[in-house]
Each structure stands twice: as C-alpha cells, then as structure tokens.
Chains A and B, each alone.
Chain A
Amino acid sequence: MLNRNSRNIFRFLTRPFFHHQRNSFLLPSSTPSSQFTSVTGFDEKYCTQLHLQRNIIPTELKVFSFFNPLRNFLKTRQLGVGIPHHKCYGSMGGVVQRSPRFSELNDDDVKHFQEVLGEKNVIQDEDKLTAANTDWMHKYKGSSRLILQPCNTDQVSQILKYCNSRGLAVVPQGGNTGLVGGSVPVFDEVIVNLSSMNNIISFDKVSGILVCEAGCILENIMSFLDNEGFIMPLDLGAKGSCQIGGNVSTNAGGLRLVRYGSLHGSVLGVEAVLANGTVLDMLKTLRKDNTGYDLKHLFIGSEGSLGIVTKVSILTPPKLASVNVALLACKDYSCCQKLLQEAKRKLGEILSAFEFLDSQSMDLVTKHLEGARNPFPTSLHNFYVLIETTGSDESSDKQKLEAFLLGSMENELVSDGVLAQDINQATTFWRLREGIPEALIRAGAVYKYDLSIPVENLYNLVEEMRSRLGDAANVVGYGHLGDGNLHLNVSVPQYDDKILSQIEPFVYEWTSKQRGSISAEHGVGLMKANEIFYSQSRETVQLMTSIKNLMDPNHILNPYKVLPHSITS
C-alpha cells in the first residue's frame, strides 16, 4: 500500500472506462450484442416484406414529391431498383441491387493481390471479415470475402488499377466508425483497409504542419502532437478508432469545429489514388496556393467515392496552456440559444466548444455508461450545455469564464452549473457528452440523424418527433449547437419498419423545409444516398455525377454510396 506510485494508481482506479473500454468498444468485433445481429434483417422473409411494403406505399415517390421538377427524373430511375434479388439492411429500409457490372472475386484475383501485397496483407480470416463487414452500429452488413491491407501508396495504386481493369468493386475503409453505412461493403466489394499506412511522415514545429499517412488513428496523432506542443484541429468521440483518412473522407466536424473550422480549412493537401491507379500528389504544405482548381477539396467529404486518400497534410494549432470546461443546466431550449449568443460575444476568442444535450440524453448516458453520473444534485433540468474554453492564460481565461457564467446565472440563462477544477473533472463532463452515441448503442437499436438546421428551430424537430412517436421510442437530441448541428436519435428496442416509416421521410422533409442539411457531418454513405435531393439541387447532383463519371468511370469506388443508386448502379 505504501510505496506504490499513487499518480498511476489514481489514474488507473478512477478511469476504468475512459480509454481502454472506449477504444475497444468502438471496434465492431468487440461488441457482442446479439440484440443487433438478430435484427439486422438479412433473412429473406424480412427482405420480402420490406420490398412488398415498399411497393404498396411508394415511399420513393412520396419522398420526392417536394421537388416537382425532379419527380420524373427520379421516377424513371427508381423503377429499375428493387426487382427480385435485392438486399436490404436492417433499418435502412432502402432497396439496392448488386450491380451486374461488377465481376466476382476469383482465386486468381486473390493470388494476384498476394503477389502485390504479400500474403499476410491479404486477409480472408472469417472473424476479421465479419468485423470489417459490419458497421459500428451493427446496422449495415456486407458480405465481402477479402480485406486488403496495403502498406504504401504504390500498393494502393496497384490494387485499384487491377480492380478497375477487372471490374471489381472496392470499399475504402478506415477505422470503420462511420455512421451512415459508408465504410462497409454493401455486397461483396473488396475492402481496402488503410490501417497499415499509419506513419507520421513529417512535422514542422514552426508552421504546425503535419504530414502523415491516411491510416493514422486520430488519437495517436493527438498524442504525437501533444508531445510537440500542438493539437489536432478536430476531435470527436470516435478518436480512439477513426483514422485521419476517414476523417478527411467524411469531412468530419466534431467537437472543435466552432473554434478551428472545418477540414476544408485545415487540410492543406492530400495524396490520393484514383480508380485507375493514378496517384495524385496534392500533398502541399502551403497555407496559400491559388493555382487553378483546388482539387484536394474533392477528396474532403467525398466518402471514398472519388479516390482513396493515402496521405494528408494538415495545419495544427499550438496547444494552449489553459483549458476550462463547464457543464451548465438550462431550463429550456431558448436559454441554450441565448447562452450561445452570449458565449460567442463574451468568450469569443477563447470559446472552443459549445455542445448541448437534452435531459433524455443525460439519462441515457448515466444509465448505460459505467461511472457516468449527473453532476447536478437534482435532475430536474431539461437541457445541459457544455462549454469549453481554450486560451493562453490560465488566470485571465478562468476569470473571463467565471464572470460569464456568473452573469448567465444572474440573467437566469443558466439554472445551475459546475466548473471543472481539474482535468479529470473536465474529462468526466466531456464523457457525458461524448458518451451519448455509445450509450445509445447499449440501449438498443437506434435511428441516427445528423442535421444542420438554423439554431432557432433546431430543437422543434426533436419535440415534433417525440410527439409523432409517442411511447414507441425514446427520442433524444444533442449535438454541436455552436455549429447548428443537431444529432437526432431515435432509440428503440429493435429496428422496426413501422417506426422507421414514421420517422422517414418526415425528418428529411422537415429539414428540407428549413433549408437545412440532411447530413451535417456524418456524410451520405449508403443511408442517405437516395435522399441527397433533400439538400442538393438537381443541377448540383448532376455535376457531382459528371465528376464521378470522370474520375471513376467504372464506378468501382464505394458503389451504392453518396449519389443516388439510380445514378451510380
């Protein structure tokens, strides 16, 4: 008892779940939840039912009834979808058919890959395949027979060149934490997993520019930078598993966007491999470069549909000495909103996160996550706001934040609040916000919507959804309020088509009416490929299609994702 190093003992005893469990939980393979596998709905009966239902209620047509000019355009395309042999995915309720244009994998292909990559990087192990075929939510499941793990850009290029010539479809995969079914195969696509490309190539301490391979795990980059006195301009709950290549490919937003902006600003360059194997070297380390079209942006947020990102150069801000975190309780949504306005004015330069969660989210987290507790003695509050400040001067930052918080209390914007006194407390408060996705997964099946909506009306959707669904579901709302980004989650015991039909297309129509986005930061993936018109005009999608056709004429890259199936299949 006496001579143990108490710093380590304390760390060990007080944080049983922070790192170890979180990371492993994020790996699909370690989430042995029979609940989900049994409802993912791969049995024929379920598919047929779904298919029939779709025919009776032509949701697709209803879906697009808002967009009159589009209706014909879509109707004709949609007709091609969903005849025999289609497959369906648990709760997606979508219908998609394996494209006949793709070849099927054969032994010669495998042999070829073994020659290019070496045997150990060509994976056919059942357990590994199951994990790589299943998404984080256990909502989407593919049936790929092959994982390829290239070790360098040249190997990626050789893989794609071969697949392109053979007509083999490919799904690029990073940490497989994506939430829209983009990172797993839909059918038998070959999985190209970037995990082995995890080297940091260079770091310039003067400019803060980091160059690394796409497979670097976000949290590992963060620790590397921490040692150098820098931080990543993005942070998200999946940091223990997601990769920078995946982040760039989904244009991940996360918890610090309010301060550091989107990846379109901080990513300075990428190296990407096109479908035909061409390597595009756009790995610049310049803040300013106006020479022609800035094509790297095509790879930021295109979810692996235009190329595989192999290297990234990113501008990282210096790590500042003083970080403060407060968790506040508000009586209603209007207080959260006013608090945001005030925070932007009064904390301006030091504000680094402004997150909110409703009491339903708080209840979920405290119920399902070990060690999580509501810091407030009474749990009668309706909303909680997490504010983080990051600045260079501990005492003046704290003073500023305290003055702001006390002022907000006097104005009754805040009904109660706690201010973290040490890093452990700050981590605990963050855990309440960051742990929501994990708590939702533990609670059962979940329908996730990631929406950009003008802040003013953002929470109305949650309330409307709640009254629509009544007791059938637990509707929770949380998200990056500072960015007008709502995470609307409908938690149910198991995936249920009846409930789904109550949610969709309502949620998309509602968002579209507000001129919001049906995907604020998670991307389109498989889940929303057919819904893109809710947020993009026909002309825009047409140009996107032309770009796709130009860069990946055989559509081998991440098929059935991002663009409407009618266009890409």
Chain B
Amino acid sequence: MKIMVAVKRVIDYAVKIRVKPDKTGVVTQNVKMSMNPFCEIALEEALRIRESGLASEVVAVSMGPSQCIDTLRTGLAMGADRGIHVEANYSLYPLSVAKILKKLVEIEKPRLLILGKQAIDDDCNQTGQMIAGLLNWPQGTFASKVVLDKEKQVATVDREVDDGIETVCLNLPAVITTDLRLNQPRYATLPNIMKAKSKPIKKFTPEELNVEIKSDLEIVEVTEPPKRKSGVIVSSVDELIDKLKHEANVI
C-alpha cells in the first residue's frame, strides 16, 4: 500500500510575521521558511504506518516555487521514499491544490492520503476536505489517533472535537488530516539526510497535469492584528474602580 502526504512550505512558525507596507501580503523575503508543522505530523504518521509494515511506500508532495525542493528534502530526510514537486510560481489556493492532488492520486494511486489539518500561513483548513470531495473518498479530519486494519482495509480515526473525541471508521482509500497531538515528528538524522540525497524527486507543472489554475480568491488587504495596549499599574483600589468605571466602562 502506498501513502501520499502533502507537505507545504510556509514561513517558519517561530518567525515574527511582518506585513508588507502596501498591505498586499506578508514579507517573505529573507525570512526562514520551513515545513508546515501539521504537515510534519502528517508525514510522521505515514512513516510510522510504513514502519509498522502496513504500507510499503511514502510519497511526499509539495507545490510551489523551486525552493519547495528544500521542504521535500526535509521530508525525504525524515524518511519519505520519494518526492513530487509541482512547480508553480504563483499563489495556490486550496481548491487548486486539491485539484492538483487529485491528478497526482490518479497517477500514483495511493490508498491513503494524509495532510495537515491546515497550514499555518493562510489557516484555510480546506484542502483535505476538498480533495476528499473531489475524489469522493471518506475523510477523517483533525485526527489525534489513527489505526489501520490492513485486512479489512479500514482506518479508524479519533478526532478532536469540541465536546470530546469522536471516532470514525473509514473505508480505504481515504483522506486523513492531522491535528497537533497525533504524534511527535522525528528529527532528520545525518544518516537519513545522507540517504535523502539519492532519493528521487519528480517534477510536474500544473499544465502538465492538465489543471487549470484559476485564482478564485482575491486578497483585498492584509493587516496586522491590533496591538495589545500595555497595562498600567494602579496605585489604589479606588483608582482601579475609577478606571473600570470610566475607562473600561465595565462596571
């Protein structure tokens, strides 16, 4: 069984985001880029499934500019067997990504597609659901536990929902999106980094895959969230009450 994992290159989550002065987006130049943390978790899960003998191959897919190769190399160093890079030098929104993934699924024929629940840059949380819809596959989103039954070809997925854990059973092939607590991704070790150098990365363009990229979203404006005002230390209870009454207007 083959597992396909989508990995996105995003601004490293520890980087302080800066909005471009013209409000068209955020500054990405000279900014550290890394693999989306939820994608790392997705890849880790795929690797664990493979290591437990339930899958034979893990293919990592990344879409975007040529630097996505670095993200794929990270994935290969973690242990993915092969990479696929779909080169696109323009913004890709969830529906386009899902359409491209659909084509790749048709080519690669994986039985399981694992994605992060969302990317920390645009926070869309849509791709997994869209691709499941396009493929007409069952989906287990926000997975915090995944158990595969190879015989029955069923995946049992625990999902973190607001009122607890929901468990769903999916017939394979299926789509799974990962939540934070699913696993703790491994590090890229030197021997694996070395091995990754000889692993193949196949390149496609959306045109080659016959996917027409329409920008169905228009960014109107990107702004920073309002700055938190610094607090003040009041010198007496009376002053506090006064401020709550007249400045905060809460009492």
Contacts and interface: CB of A to CB of B under 8 A. Distances in A.
B16 A419 contact: no
A423 B14 contact: yes
Given A1-B142, A5-B123, A321-B30, A423 B187 contact: no
Interface in A386-429: 394-395, 402, 405-406, 409, 414, 416-425, 427
A422 B189 contact: no
A226 interface: yes
A419 B119 CA distance: 23
A226 B35 contact: no
A424 B32 CA distance: 12
Contacts of B188: 418-419, 421
Given A7-B120, A421-B187, A423-B14, 15 more contacts: A6-B38, A6-B125, A10-B37, A375-B187, A394-B32, A406-B190, A406-B193, A416-B190, A417-B189, A417-B190, A419-B77, A419-B193, A422-B35, A423-B15, A424-B12
A2 interface: yes
B96 to A, nearest CB: 20
Interface string B34-49: 1101100000000000
B139 interface: no
Contact of A1 (B37, B78, B161, B191): B161
A13 interface: yes
20 contacts: A1-B142, A1-B162, A2-B125, A7-B13, A7-B123, A10-B38, A10-B120, A11-B13, A226-B16, A394-B32, A395-B70, A406-B194, A409-B194, A418-B187, A418-B190, A421-B35, A422-B12, A422-B35, A422-B37, A423-B32
Nearest to B119: A6
A375 B194 CA distance: 18
Contacts, number: 94
B28 to A, nearest CB: 12
B201 interface: no
A321 B32 contact: yes
Interface string B74-93: 10011000000000000000
Given A10-B37, A402-B193, A424 B118 contact: no
Contacts of B190: 328, 405-406, 409, 414, 416-419
Contact of B74 (A1, A10, A421): A421
Nearest to A418: B187
Interface string B1-43: 0000000000011111100000000000011101101100000
Interface residues of A, number: 37
Contacts of A422: 12-14, 32, 34-35, 37
Nearest to B30: A321
Contacts of A418: 187-190
A259 to B, nearest CB: 19
Interface residues of B, number: 36
Given A13-B180, A423-B13, A416 B125 contact: no
A68 B223 CA distance: 72
Contacts of B57: none
Interface string A1-43: 1110111011101100000000000000000000000000000
A6 B188 CA distance: 24
Contacts of A414: 190
A1 B189 CA distance: 33
B83 to A, nearest CB: 15
Contacts of B13: 7, 10-11, 422-424
Please provide the 10 A-B residue pairs with the shortest distance between their CB atoms, ordered closest to farther. A422-B34, A423-B14, A417-B190, A418-B187, A7-B120, A421-B74, A321-B30, A423-B12, A6-B120, A375-B187
A11 B14 contact: yes
Interface in A160-195: none
Interface string B119-160: 111010100000000000000001000000000000000001
Contact of A425 (B38, B125, B161, B187): B187
A1 B31 CA distance: 28
B150 to A, nearest CB: 26
Interface in B56-83: 70, 74, 77-78
A448 to B, nearest CB: 30
Most buried by B among A9, A13, A375, A402: A402
B141 to A, nearest CB: 9
Contacts of A417: 189-190
B120 A423 contact: no
B104 to A, nearest CB: 23
Contacts of A427: 14
Contacts of B193: 402, 405-406, 419
A395 B73 CA distance: 12
Nearest to B189: A418
A9 B180 CA distance: 9
Contacts of B38: 6, 10
Nearest to A422: B34
Contacts of A1: 142, 160-162
Contacts of A13: 180
B14 A424 contact: yes
A366 B91 CA distance: 42
Contacts of B37: 10, 14, 422, 424
Interface string A308-321: 00000000000001
A328 B193 CA distance: 13
A421 B34 contact: yes
A406 B12 CA distance: 25
Contacts of A409: 190-191, 194
Contacts of A424: 12-14, 37
Contacts of B14: 11, 422-424, 427
A6 B35 contact: no
Contacts of B118: 6
Interface in B83-123: 117-121, 123
Contacts of B194: 406, 409
Contacts of B70: 395
Most buried by A among B16, B30, B31: B30
A417 B77 CA distance: 12
A43 to B, nearest CB: 38
